[in-house]
Structure 1
Amino acid sequence: MKDFLKGSKFYPLEIVIDDREPDAMLEYLLFYKNIIVRKERLLVGDFRLDSELLVERKSISDFCISLKDGRFFKQAAKLSNSNIPACIIIEGRKNVLKGIGFSKNALQAILLSVSLIFKIPVLRSKSQEETVKIMLQSFRQLTKDRLADYKFNPRWKPKFNRQKSDKFLKQKVHILEGFPGIGADKAEQLIKHFGSLQHVFNAPESELLKVVGIGKSTVEKMKMILNESS
């Protein structure tokens, strides 16, 4: 088993795989200690990464078949209409293109139309293992704190009496860091905005979303944990 997957604050990462995907994809993902994987029937996409990214995986042969029977553009439309960012990964080596009924130029034109019309990135992969690596890299890039957050919202430094307040600030930050998607910077922003943990926990979603770096997915997970009964 490999080391922990690194590169984002959104861990452990939960990945839902469509139950029609091959078992090998599950095995490649379970190489990492901090990934939780479960299978279920997905209505859109083949992989859902922590409700932050949808991935449609297609082997080259399946891609061509889905073009012929009309499935591909319907799937692209569903991905485009989803409120979760999405991408398509075309998997397989170029020599598979021989004898499938589509020229290289025709396929290139179709992929360009998907990128330009549906606004969905189309990525290429040579194997199932590489597909998993591309998915995880895409997730890391998507969930990485934006440079603008650091440029215009520098790390908050408390201006309270150091003898007492620093001690409690560290404790508050530590508690908030236990929620998915909340690192030290976002925890301090929440404390700065609301003043106390009680106010953070009781705040409505609309108020939480006003805090820099706090998105809808993070708020939903926080509320779910706070409202979960034992």
Structure 2
Amino acid sequence: MATPVTTRAALLVLADGRFPAGGHAHSGGAEAAVKAGRLRDAADLAAFCRGRLHTTGLTSAGLAAAAALGHDAGALDEAADARTPSPALRAVSRRLGRQLMRAARAAWPCEALDALAAAFPRGAHQPVVFGTTARAAGLGPEDAAHCVAYESVSGPATAVVRLLGLDPFQATAVLARLAPELDDVAARAAAAAREGIDALPAASAPLLDVTAEQHAAWPVRLFAS
């Protein structure tokens, strides 16, 4: 079992935007929202991130927390599939899962990650890999949920700086103001994970699903999703 200092350091590494997990290439739906005119400034970014956090962010955080607790990875992957109606987003999640797996196995090699990689050679869903990675790093379900919840909003915030030329200080302020809600979402996700797979959140964001399919068909785009 990792010591508290080691665990805290591992959490910082895993949550670092520079951790080579592939997230920098994805906008979390922000690129499509910008093109549609629904995301134009910092106020719009705050609303977009809040909506994403309490839907797909909560759902993904629950899956990650459950994986960190050691729930069956195959059942969790099926649960992730059922909670991701968009084929484009399912493909993105597995692609990001593969990339995260490569980084995780280099950073925290362990049998659990090896077994997950062997069971899903084309990639397990990203939240499942995230939670398994957290466990390998000596982190708990709340830590895994915090990482995934934060990733669900930090990706769009970073993308909008590039897409709109938004002041990065304003984008960072949006994330800082969401901190209490991030804590709440992580706590809810971890609590649900402790009750079992059937109790995991299944919040949805239909507009993100629809625009993800449209975005995947664009011949020219800045972000992969």
Which gives a bigger RCO, structure 1 or 2 (Cα 8 Å, sep 6+)?
2
TM-score, L = length of structure 2 = 0.31
Query: Which structure has more strand as a fraction of its residues?
Result: 1
Compare the two structures and name the one with the higher helix fraction: 2
TM-score with structure 1 setting the length: 0.30
